[in-house]
Chains A and B, each alone.
Chain A
């Protein structure tokens, strides 16, 4: 590959595989570089970058309220991040975590209301409620997974489109019908019926609920499952080479099905936890904020590592948490969006530079003089 630039040209060369230490240090360096670029832009926009960063850190992590707020926001992000990780590991592009999360919320709130009506609350009820969310997410993903596994349809299209169907279902249940989910006492402004108190997830301090620990456990289980089980080994092989997987007797179709359903289950569990831990009802306004798509970014930044998803999700959540506070200080919230984008580019770019090197050299014009290396001395 080469890119002509006047009398010079830029060529790309593959690098040797970097050492483990370099690979570990690279993301940190990339984040630092991203923050530096962001600082220049904030400064250019007429704001004080140091103030902006300290405020972001303070609103994101400073104090109990800020910290618990960030962690509550991070919980569904961790789960949708895991949903993306497991699917992308096998190069199955599940873009439908959004819809799977919504269906999970629908099922969890539906069963939660039903159980609450019958007085089956507490741990048993909550476990059933969350299981329903995970199951619904898995089944919703199966709608795309079955044709992908057996008819080789494009899962990007099908999972993406199912997001809109899921959104439509949720909106219908609350806004366009008098369903089981809708609060009948509020006729003028439609809202979802609230769960019985016995169905709420346990809260520790502030808004921090047990859902965070469920998400952390889920990350641990996925990490272990991919690393230490036969299923994880098969996902690894299939993701790298489906032909080699078939050759060694693995059922690639079943692997596609199971991976997409596990992916959907994570997202669906995220929906259930939002309902049981934060919202208390099926609230279309709160559930269509793009957490599913953000999970893809989280997974990419975490380089598809299940445990890496945790810090990345918390960092991204801290930005979101800091946003309103910054606006109060006169720092536009677009700065935060911008910063997220810059960090993303820097981390992905850092990955690329680990594996490739750029060399600028003078272009050879026909049978002219030999190459003049700009970076290295000519031999």
Chain B
């Protein structure tokens, strides 16, 4: 039990590695099994964690990383298996109990109250917070904790004013403030810029040096190699192995993770054709009524992938929605070929040959409660053979679904099953199957591989490349720099609703892109600066793409 709320408690523990000499066990999970709907997400997984170490949990999506962490964090109760914390067998019935044992998890989706300040969020739900809380001492403690671990954030700032990276710091602070000594970070870098990720790693190292134990969940090899002391690889719900990171070989780790060698794809550039999608001076409001897109100029040609890079929330979703007609544009024009589609309906745009892979697969891309057969027919149900006049043929809908299932290798389908129960990779294949089977001239793909496992990512990227080679113009919006670099023929960087820069992928290093994504053109280096067109709008429009493609 760790009832002491003061941050000092975390370091006053006798079990820290420096004190004992031999590193002691912070947590041990024995033969953890947890199934969902009869499918094991964890199958007899063993895991151990030492004080003072950063232990990476590596694996594809669906490998069981999040499940294992949720078991340790008390969110899931394992079907069988034992949890030992600090050498003592425990049963964690709730996240609350896990917190009492000093185990806390930072989830991918933050659990903060937007309108509250940082300090208020920390006080919220804290067992020592009485009816009247001392704001000043709280703010002082927050500042002190922040200084010690490089988690600097103003205690008085409201959450909604903070960047995603800062909000993550608040989540970590919240756990430290509750006396957490075993910290689980579930894909923490997914939402961060490269610079923010570096700062997170510094924090993690400082905490480990202080004797705390950290589980770092990731599917990014480079990060794991950079920051962790040990690494455990999970695959298909089972533990494949653990090793000291210093002894780990990247290729071997990748093999353990995937179960096979990754294919490397040589980029084959095709000749770009005429403009298929042109966006001129597009300005649109976001959900809160604030301008989310400002004077966007873009051009995507046939047989060309234009990659839109940027940190989430800089106008990517709004850009995609404005192009496909789900968001009204305030100014500017959108052309599909030579047809002005700025004021046409979504249906009209679909008929003119616009396909869309939305970032929100489950709510926008699919009707999650419906079976996959229906979802695969979402757009095609209007035309024969699926419909004749006002009637829809159930048989034709099912036949088409079976054809697409084979053609796009969609797996794990039971036909009456709600689509939401499929894995992310299969859902994405299904969305692509639906969109590409309509033979679009222009495809807008938002975060096409986010949250997918390595095999699915490979497959979907290959599908996009094949589609480009077949002549389709693709606007790919992605937060994954590797993906942007790998697939794009032209890269544009979106920052605060503006295009910060246009780059040739050969000139774009992750560092240059990272700087542009963080909104810093001046430091971006000569290559980027030359191609950068910050906000000067229309005059750069006619020749964009032409000089970079």
Residues of A within 8 A of B (CB): 2, 9, 11, 14, 16-17, 227-233, 236-237, 240-241, 243-251, 363-364, 366-371, 379
Contact = CB atoms under 8 A, between A and B. Distances in A.
Contacts, number: 103
Contacts of B369: 240-241
Interface in B370-393: 370, 374-375, 377-379, 381-382, 387, 390-392
Given A247-B358, A368-B91, A370-B82, A241 B392 contact: no
B1 interface: yes
Contacts of A244: 363-367, 375, 378
Given A17-B417, A236-B374, A247-B358, A230 B390 contact: yes
B1 A366 contact: yes
Contacts of B360: 243
5 contacts: A16-B37, A228-B391, A232-B392, A237-B374, A248-B379
Interface stretch (B165-173, B286-294, B342-350): B342-350
B522 interface: no
B370 A364 contact: no
A251 B97 CA distance: 48
B348 to A, nearest CB: 8
Contacts of B377: 233
A244 B434 CA distance: 13
A244 B417 CA distance: 18
Nearest to A359: B77
Contact of A367 (B101, B374, B394, B417): B101
A236 B80 CA distance: 40
B356 interface: yes
A233 B374 contact: yes
A6 to B, nearest CB: 15
Interface string B328-370: 0000000000000000011101100000101010011111111
B222 interface: no
Nearest to B360: A243
Contact of A233 (B101, B350, B392): B392
Nearest to A11: B77
A311 B33 CA distance: 46
B381 A230 contact: yes
A35 B480 CA distance: 60
Contacts of B82: 370
Contacts of B345: 249, 251
A230 B37 contact: no
A16 B97 CA distance: 28
Nearest to B377: A233
B346 A230 contact: no
A34 B363 CA distance: 38
- What 3 pairs between A and B have smallest CB-CB spacing? A249-B347, A364-B91, A241-B367
Contacts of A236: 367, 370, 374
**Residue from B88, B93, B349, B416 whose CB has the most chain A CB atoms within 10 Å:** B93
B367 A240 contact: yes
A240 B370 contact: yes
Given A227-B394, A237-B370, A247-B356, 7 more contacts: A11-B77, A230-B381, A230-B390, A240-B368, A243-B360, A247-B358, A370-B89
A363 B93 contact: yes
B387 A230 contact: yes
B20 interface: no
B21 interface: no
Contacts of A250: 347
Contacts of A240: 367-370
B14 interface: no
Size class of the B contact interface (CB-based, 8 Å)? 35 or more
B97 A364 contact: yes
Nearest to B39: A16
B246 interface: no
Nearest to A241: B367
Contacts of B370: 236-237, 240-241
B38 interface: yes
Nearest to B33: A379
Nearest to B389: A230
Given A236-B370, A247-B346, A248-B379, A371 B365 contact: no
Contacts of A371: 77, 91
A231 B390 contact: yes
Nearest to B80: A379
Contacts of A231: 390
A31 B93 CA distance: 36
Contact of B364 (A232, A243, A249, A379): A243
B89 A248 contact: no
B395 to A, nearest CB: 11
B324 to A, nearest CB: 8
A16 B39 CA distance: 10
Nearest to A14: B37
B90 A367 contact: yes
**Residue from A11, A14, A230, A369 whose CB has the most chain B CB atoms within 10 Å:** A230
A366 B378 CA distance: 51
A246 B326 CA distance: 7
Contacts of B365: 244, 247
B381 A233 contact: yes
Interface string B494-509: 0000000000000000
Contact of A228 (B88, B349, B366, B394): B394
Contact of B382 (A230, A232, A379): A230
A364 B93 CA distance: 7
Contacts of B91: 364, 367-371
A374 to B, nearest CB: 14
Contacts of B391: 228-230
Contacts of A248: 346, 350, 378-379
Contacts of A245: 367
A245 B370 CA distance: 12
Interface in B85-129: 85, 88-94, 97, 100-101
A245 B368 CA distance: 12
B35 to A, nearest CB: 10
B346 A17 contact: no
B435 to A, nearest CB: 10
B351 to A, nearest CB: 8
